[in-house]
Amino acid sequence: QVPLVESGGGLVQAGGSLRLSCAASGQSFSTRAMGWFRQAPGKEREFIAAFTRSADTIYSDSVKGRFTISRDNAKNTVYLQMNSLKPEDTAVYYCAARLRADPSRYSSDYAYWGQGTQVTVSS
């Protein structure tokens, strides 16, 4: 089991920004798809963004143009830059790693998950 550890969550006002980090320890995931999901209370886990390299990045419509996924392979870390945050972005955010190189919108396609980090956006 390769642990993924998210960090960077917190409380921010609407319109503000946060950057989440997901550090993977153990084997490198530089050639495998990484994704971000979120889950708000009482709701199902929702896809946010995923990619292996910039050319194959996919985003949900709800965050497209506001959020950016990126990675630093030397640090084995994936980031989620979140700008123009809205109260409806409030959720626990999870990073996930696939065993394959093609990114996916489906949580069931991901083999490894972090513990989650809380993001709260106040109005």
Tens digit of pLDDT per residue, the chain (123 long)? 568 999 999 999 999 999 999 999 877 888 899 999 999 999 999 999 999 987 899 999 999 999 999 999 899 999 999 999 999 999 999 999 999 999 999 999 999 999 999 999 999
Count Cα atoms within 13 angstroms, Cβ side, for 93: 29
Closest CA to 120 of 95, 74, 88: 88
Reading the block at residue 93, the tokens are 């955010």
Count Cα atoms within 13 angstroms, Cβ side, for 7: 4
d(Cα 65, Cα 109) in Å, to the nearest integer? 25
d(Cα 74, Cα 76) in Å, to the nearest integer? 6
